[in-house]
Amino acid sequence: MTPLLVARRLAALLVTVVVVSVATFLAMRMVPGDPARLAAGPDAPAETVEAIRREWGLDQPLSIQLGRFLARLPTGDFGTSYRTKAPVWSEVAPRLFPTFLLTVTGMGLAMLFGIGAGLLSAVRRGTWFDTGVSVLSTLGISLPVFWLGILLMMVFAARLRWFPSSGWGEWRHLVLPSLTLGAGFFASISRMTRSSMLEVLRDDYIRTATAKGLSRRRVLLGHALRNALLPIITVAGLEFGRLLGGAVITESVFAWPGMGRLLVDSVKFRDYPTVQACVIILAVCIALSTFLSDLLNAYVDPRLRRG
């Protein structure tokens, strides 16, 4: 990937962040409910509500509010939370690590088992193992995240008591949320690995490598899987964003103290600054994951570097 192409991708990333920021700002103002009224209480007089609106700058025209928001954005100043009266960054920062820990763990488990299952399914095409992986993949894609989370809690937390049902603090708290979050990604990555490997295994160079006497393990891992990785990396980059979005539901189900749960609570309170900060940070992470997947594709495939 040339420096010019990298610069273009970075410019596109910045444009994406700005567009998401403006869209989030406008969308929150369209949501029914007055944050000043929610903060003052249903029985508060109109003067109190208006004073709160002036304090938060909500009495200003929308264009002025948007201009101030965009002007503070490059400095990382998201304002003050309506709900806690604390700087938004102090509310968001402690939630970053739990969310990324959950997302990376779920993604890592899904890739580990998904690539392995897809590889074996391609090698053992038409066997009972291939059928079993296909059934699991269909279930992983079809089951809603919240339903799967509740089901895992009922089986492994309520009945078997192997893992806790909520909270965080030790590795056992991470198991059920990460399995719930990674189930859909496992389905996608296993299906993609299987189809990509089946396509690569038909190529002439695979037959040539086998005819040269190379071991089956070396042919599969050193030749076939390496060339089948390109679509897998692309899917992984796109699915990372889906996992971050799914973390909002998963964290709510398992009471996980991450950004997803903070986002849900902030939407309920119409906490505009905190919602905007959470959405923008998630958008930046999704855009960066796509950008890094492009770089990794160029590293794996020399043709992309030359191009």
Structural domains of the chain in order of their starting residue, each with its CATH number: 95-271 (1.10.3720.10)
Q: Which residue has the tokens 């763990």?
A: 105
pTM for this model (two decimals): 0.77
1 in Cβ contact with 294 (< 8 Å) = yes
From 128, 88, 118, 120, select the one nearest 277 (Cα to Cα).
88
How does pLDDT run across 62-117, given as a tens digit for each residue? Answer: 888 888 888 888 887 888 888 888 888 888 888 888 888 888 888 888 888 888 88
Indicate the average pLDDT of the chain: 80
The predicted structure's pLDDT at residue 209: 66
How does pLDDT run across 104-148, given as a tens digit for each residue? Answer: 888 888 888 888 888 888 878 878 888 888 888 888 777 788 888
Structure tokens of 46? 């109109």
The predicted structure's pLDDT at residue 298: 66
The predicted structure's pLDDT at residue 102: 86
R_g over Cα of the chain = 24
Residue range 243-253: mean pLDDT, rounded: 78
How does pLDDT run across 37-60, given as a tens digit for each residue? Answer: 777 777 777 788 788 888 888 778
Q: Output phi, psi for 80, to 5 deg.
A: -115, 140
Contacts of 46 (CB under 8 A, 6+ apart): none
The predicted structure's pLDDT at residue 54: 83
